């Protein structure tokens, strides 16, 4: 980018947070996104000689994982960062119980801070109030989308607080975003997501190429992000629900995708409704296949360790 710098902050096993600043600004201010490990952020901020003025949290879940006695996720580090930088503003979706939030935002809101401009996209599904922050950059560069657990490289987040129809509505809204936007997700699940996608679409050339690239990057200890949104439409099965190759792939794996529902009683449904309902069914089956795949991988890992 000509003006904007995005620094990826690895946290825990696969969490990713971000430090963002305007390189042409005369200030040393920056914005931080999805703080899981406040100590990791503080170390990097001091190294960069940057002072955070705002935290953007995409969603909650930290209290849930705390209850399970696991590491806190996405906003669990907000309090620690505020302890170090007391004047921080913490932005969060108005429907999310994000820790330490001071400013609530909703779909379409603009955030101007640290000589940066963000807008807010409401994308419920993974949680009931998940938001995506879109960083607007000068003409000629690509806007950045900080997607939290809504959209990953080659996948999407699990459905915790919504319905398949609600998640589908959010996924369909992605089509209205500029195809050149760059995706910065909250986890680097790329390799695992693409391995699953290959079980669904083994003959997808773009998918195979992306998988090879991601494997090479992981060997080099490089992140798989950012990825371009228009490329995700070529290999992310959750953005390809209308493709017959996805339906056929699921059926080849032994799953049953219900036939299109064209009538409700004797009444013929509107074609758009038929299409939406069909994609809801495909999404439901695709999610089940993804969960089964993950369960199988975990069992294989346990068996290998036991052996």
pLDDT, tens digit, for every residue of 38-47?
Answer: 999 999 999 9
Among the listed residues 237, 286, 238, 282, the one whose alpha carbon sits nearest the alpha carbon of residue 261: 282
298: β partners: none
Cβ 293 vs Cβ 196: under 8 Å? yes
Mean pLDDT of all residues in 79-83: 90
Rg (the chain; Cα; Å): 20
pLDDT at 141: 85
- Binning pLDDT at 50, 70 and 90, where does residue 8 land? very high
Cβ 223 vs Cβ 183: under 8 Å? no
Q: Cα separations (Å) of 219 from 105, 223, 269, 297?
A: 39, 10, 50, 20
- Binning pLDDT at 50, 70 and 90, where does residue 305 land? low
The class (CATH top level) of 4-240 is alpha beta
State the Cα–Cα distance between residues 140 and 92, nearest whole angstrom.
29
pLDDT, tens digit, for every residue of 219-251?
Answer: 999 999 999 999 999 999 999 999 999 999 999
Cβ 177 vs Cβ 120: under 8 Å? no
How is the chain split among helix, strand and coil, in percent rounded to 5? 40, 25, 40
Query: Is a pLDDT exceeding 80 seen at residue 302?
Result: no
Token digits of residue 229:
């949104």
State the Cα–Cα distance between residues 55 and 111, nearest whole angstrom.
11
Query: Is a pLDDT exceeding 50 seen at residue 69?
Result: no
pLDDT, tens digit, for every residue of 115-142?
Answer: 999 999 999 887 878 899 999 998 878 9
Q: Cα separations (Å) of 269 from 36, 133, 168, 169, 282?
A: 46, 36, 19, 18, 18
Q: Which residues touch 18 (CB under 8 Å, ≥6 apart)?
A: 6, 7, 8, 9, 32, 33, 34, 146, 184
Q: Which residue has the tokens 């069992």?
A: 299
State the Cα–Cα distance between residues 211 and 288, nearest whole angstrom.
22
129: β partners: none
- pLDDT > 70 fraction of the chain, expressed in percent and rounded: 92
263: β partners: 268
Residue 49, burial from CB neighbour count under 10 angstroms (0-12, 13-18, 19+) = exposed
| Domain definitions of the chain by residue range | 4-240, 247-307
Cβ 28 vs Cβ 140: under 8 Å? no
pLDDT at 160: 79
State the Cα–Cα distance between residues 29 and 20, nearest whole angstrom.
9
Residue 46, burial from CB neighbour count under 10 angstroms (0-12, 13-18, 19+) = exposed
Query: Is a pLDDT exceeding 80 seen at residue 303?
Result: no
Query: Is a pLDDT exceeding 60 seen at residue 28?
Result: yes
Query: Is a pLDDT exceeding 80 seen at residue 2?
Result: no
- Binning pLDDT at 50, 70 and 90, where does residue 60 land? low
Q: How far apart are the first and last CA of the chain?
A: 49
pLDDT, tens digit, for every residue of 147-181?
Answer: 999 999 999 998 878 899 999 999 999 999 999 99
Q: What is the dihedral of CA 35, 37, 42, 48, to 10 degrees?
A: -70
Choose the weakest-confidence range: 114-118, 199-203, 267-271, 297-301: 297-301
Query: Is a pLDDT exceeding 70 seen at residue 306?
Result: no
Q: Which residue has the tokens 């059926």?
A: 251
- Binning pLDDT at 50, 70 and 90, where does residue 307 land? low
pLDDT at 73: 66
Cβ 183 vs Cβ 151: under 8 Å? yes
233: β partners: none
């Amino acid at each position: 980018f000509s003006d904007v710098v995005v620094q990826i902050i690895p946290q825990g096993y696969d969490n990713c947070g971000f430090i963002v600043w305007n390189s042409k600004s005369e200030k040393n201010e920056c914005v931080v996104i999805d703080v899981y490990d406040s100590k990791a952020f503080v170390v990097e901020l001091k190294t960069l000689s940057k002072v955070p003025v705002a935290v953007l949290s995409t969603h909650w879940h930290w209290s849930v994982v705390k209850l399970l006695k696991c590491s806190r996720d996405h906003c669990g580090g907000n309090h620690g960062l505020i302890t170090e930088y007391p004047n921080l503003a913490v932005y969060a979706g108005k429907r999310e119980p994000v820790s330490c939030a001071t400013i609530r935002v909703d779909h379409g809101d603009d955030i101007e801070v640290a000589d940066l401009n963000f807008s807010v996209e409401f994308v419920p599904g993974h949680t009931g109030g998940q938001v995506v922050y879109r960083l607007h950059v000068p003409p000629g560069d690509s806007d950045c989308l900080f997607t939290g657990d809504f959209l990953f490289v080659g996948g999407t987040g699990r459905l915790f607080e919504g319905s398949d129809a609600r998640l589908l509505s959010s996924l369909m809204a992605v089509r209205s975003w500029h195809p050149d936007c760059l995706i910065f997700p909250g986890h680097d699940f790329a390799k695992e997501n693409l391995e699953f996608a290959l079980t669904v679409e083994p003959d997808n050339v773009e998918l195979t190429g992306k998988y090879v690239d991601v494997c090479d990057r992981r060997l080099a200890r490089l992140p798989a992000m950012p990825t371009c949104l228009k490329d995700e439409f070529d290999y992310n099965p959750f953005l390809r629900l209308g493709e017959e190759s996805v339906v056929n792939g699921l059926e080849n794996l032994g799953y049953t995708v219900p036939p299109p529902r064209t009538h409700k009683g004797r009444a013929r449904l509107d074609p758009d409704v038929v299409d939406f309902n069909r994609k809801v069914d495909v999404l439901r089956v695709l999610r089940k296949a993804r969960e089964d795949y993950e369960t199988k991988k975990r069992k294989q890992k346990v068996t290998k360790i036991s052996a």
